[in-house]
Structures are given as C-alpha cells and as structure tokens.
Amino acid sequence: MSPFVTPEDPTAADAIAGIADELSVFDDWMDRYQYIIELGRKLPPFPEAWADDTHRVPGCQSRVWMEAEPRDGRIYLAGASDAAIVSGLVALLLRVYSGRTPAEIAATDPVFLKDLGLIEALSTNRGNGIASMARKIREIAAVTPAGA
C-alpha cells in the first residue's frame, strides 16, 4: 500500500467543502476532535524510515513527518505524527492538498483552517503547528517544477 494520499475529492475546494460539511454534523468540539482523530487513524501507513529529521516538519509541538512525490504534474503527500489529534490534522491537510497540481496547492490558501474554526479550537501550539504543516506543503509546491 502506498503511503501517499490519493484525493477523494476532485479539487481542493471540494475537499474543504466536504470537511466543512462533515464537521458541521457535530454539535461540540469534543465530537469533532474524535472525528479528526479517526481521520488520522485512517492515514496510509507511513514508512518508519521516513520518521527522521529529514522528513520532520519544523514548528510543530508534536513530531510530524511529511514526504512528497511529484508524479504526472501533481504532488502526492504522505504524513504522520506521534500524536493522535495531530495525525488527524495531517489527514485533513493531505485530503485538501495531496494529489493536486503545484498551482492548485499555491492557490489554496490555508485560511480555510481558520474559516473551519480549527485554529481557534486548538491550543496555540497546535494552531501554530498546523500552520507550519500547511506552509511546508506550499513550500514543496513552490519548488516543484510544473509537469514534474
């Protein structure tokens, strides 16, 4: 099984709308947290060999690792964390960004995290961490040549 996430939704905007719909089902943040944790548990297995400093995302309180693979003009992402809630946040980001073109990634501002209420609902450190993950993904897209 590939560690890279294949998109379920046709576009990043559709993924964001889907996440918003799914989160709106829950009345309180404890239920939303549980849902996010479940998303993290469904991530493809992340290779142990990648759980190293080379793949580590700086700026996260928990340990977070990511890998990118350009393929057919799109960037596929794999990710993992040592914390359950953070793994879920990784899963949300990969749902939005993995399998997209560098241009679509660059055009998808991570402000959706704030719009969905995720940044405010998290501790400051976790909020900063998810922002660091989104920044890392956009940096990868910025240096990936079109058509790679």
Determine which helix (DSSP H) or strand (DSSP E) holds 22, and give its type and residue range: helix 12-24
- pLDDT band of 58, cuts 50, 70, 90: confident
Residue 147: the pLDDT is: 63
Residue 132: the pLDDT is: 86
* CA 9/CA 95 separation, integer angstroms: 8
Nearest C-alpha neighbor of 97 from the set 19, 36, 1: 19
CB within 8 A of 122, min separation 6: which ones?
Answer: 89, 130
Which residues is 33 bridged to in the sheet? none
HSE-CB for 115 with a 13 A CA cutoff? 11
- For domain 12-143, give the CATH number: 3.90.1010.10
Are residues 141 and 69 in contact, defined by beta-carbon separation less than 8 angstroms? no
Q: What is the pLDDT of residues 89-143, one digit of tens each?
A: 999 999 999 999 999 999 999 888 888 888 777 766 677 788 889 989 999 999 9
Comparing 104 with 29, which gets the higher pLDDT? 104
Q: What is the pTM of this model?
A: 0.92
Are residues 6 and 98 in contact, defined by beta-carbon separation less than 8 angstroms? yes
Count of C-beta atoms within a 10 Å radius of residue 3: 17
Question: What residues are labeled active site?
Answer: 60
Domain range annotation of the chain = 12-143
- pLDDT band of 25, cuts 50, 70, 90: very high
